[in-house]
């Protein structure tokens, strides 16, 4: 009787684990809404720039990710400006060219590389509308 009871309990514990292991698509998707930090409107074959300040001493740099079918990364540069206190402020500038009509996203990631992988301090999502 004890063996039978143990077998039933083991079956009750293992059955949910086995049921959750399949590749079955239930159609239930979780949608996460992310509000863009910036919205850019431009036209086909027009260029636009995105600029972000950074601290060279921190080891963090901005990196970009974009849809290469929609946008071309024309170039990147570093700008210097002087703030009210007379300190030099560095900015990374990304220049893009719109290739075709539609909507797309650019992700700018402020990260530094470590042996364990990148450490991300900030992530900006830019919505681009190409008319």
Question: What are the structural domains of the chain?
Answer: 34-130 (2.60.40.2020)
Q: Backbone dihedral region of 27: left (phi > 0), alpha (psi from -120 to 50 degrees) or beta? A: left
Residues of the chain with confidence (pLDDT) below 50: 5-8
pLDDT attached to residue 36 = 84
Whether the model clears a pTM of 0.85, i.e. scores above it, the answer is no
Cβ atoms within 10 Å, residue 94: 21
CA 13 to chain centre: 39
pLDDT attached to residue 86 = 85
Q: Which two tokens stand for residue 33?
A: 């809404």
Mean of the per-residue pLDDT values of the chain: 83
Q: What are the E-state strand segments in the chain? A: 38-42, 47-54, 61-66, 71-82, 88-98, 102-112, 119-130
Cβ atoms within 10 Å, residue 119: 12
């Amino acid at each position: 009787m004890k063996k039978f009871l143990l077998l039933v309990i083991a079956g009750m514990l293992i059955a949910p684990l086995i049921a959750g292991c399949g590749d079955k698509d239930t159609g239930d998707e979780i949608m996460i809404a992310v509000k863009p930090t910036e919205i850019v409107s431009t036209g086909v074959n027009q260029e636009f720039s995105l600029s972000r300040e950074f601290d060279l001493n921190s080891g963090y740099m901005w990196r970009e990710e974009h849809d290469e079918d929609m946008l071309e990364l024309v170039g990147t540069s570093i700008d210097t400006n002087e703030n009210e206190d007379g300190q030099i402020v560095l900015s990374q500038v990304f220049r893009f060219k719109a290739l075709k009509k539609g909507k797309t996203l650019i992700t700018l990631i402020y990260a530094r590389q470590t042996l364990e992988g990148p450490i991300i301090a900030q992530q900006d999502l830019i919505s681009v509308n190409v008319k």
